[in-house]
């Protein structure tokens, strides 16, 4: 299955931000970037994550270090919730 991409410049233009902001997100490990023929692309599946981070940064004025911490905590919570769901499903087998 072919993965779809969006030009980082298009993403930045549509959200009225500078391209260096997305590159900083990449440097912090918050989003993935693909480089093809010296052009930077954002995978389409990363758009919701990038937009969420953008809202945290612009609406709540959270710096990138804070966003990195928040993202790690949210990922841990999601993983723990998935584990709880799996354990509850196993427990239901014995009820």
Q: What is the CATH number of the domain that holds 41?
A: 1.10.1660.10
Contact (CB, 8 A) for 42 and 5: yes
pLDDT at 94: 85
The parent domain of residue 22 ranges over 5-93
Residue-wise pLDDT for 67-91, tens only, equals 999 999 999 999 999 999 999 999 9
User: Global pTM?
Assistant: 0.78
Model pLDDT, residue 95: 79
- Per-residue pLDDT of 5-64, as tens digits, reads 999 999 999 999 999 999 999 999 999 999 999 999 999 999 999 999 999 999 999 999
Query: For the chain, how many structural domains are there in total?
Result: 1
CB 46 within 8 A of CB 31: yes
The 3-state DSSP class for residue 47 equals: helix
The whole-number pLDDT of residue 1 equals: 60
- Give the C-alpha separation, 71 to 74, whole Å: 5
In the prediction, which pLDDT does 14 show? 95
In whole angstroms, give the CA distance from residue 94 to residue 55.
Answer: 44
């Amino acid at each position: 299955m072919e993965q779809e991409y969006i030009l980082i410049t298009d993403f930045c233009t549509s959200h009225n931000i500078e391209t260096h902001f997305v590159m900083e997100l990449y440097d912090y490990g918050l989003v993935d970037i693909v480089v093809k023929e010296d052009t930077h692309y954002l995978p389409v599946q990363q758009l919701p994550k990038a937009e969420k981070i953008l809202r945290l940064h612009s609406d709540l004025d959270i710096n990138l270090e804070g966003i990195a911490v928040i993202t790690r905590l949210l990922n841990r919570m999601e993983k723990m919730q998935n584990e709880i769901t799996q354990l509850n499903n196993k427990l239901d087998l014995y009820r």
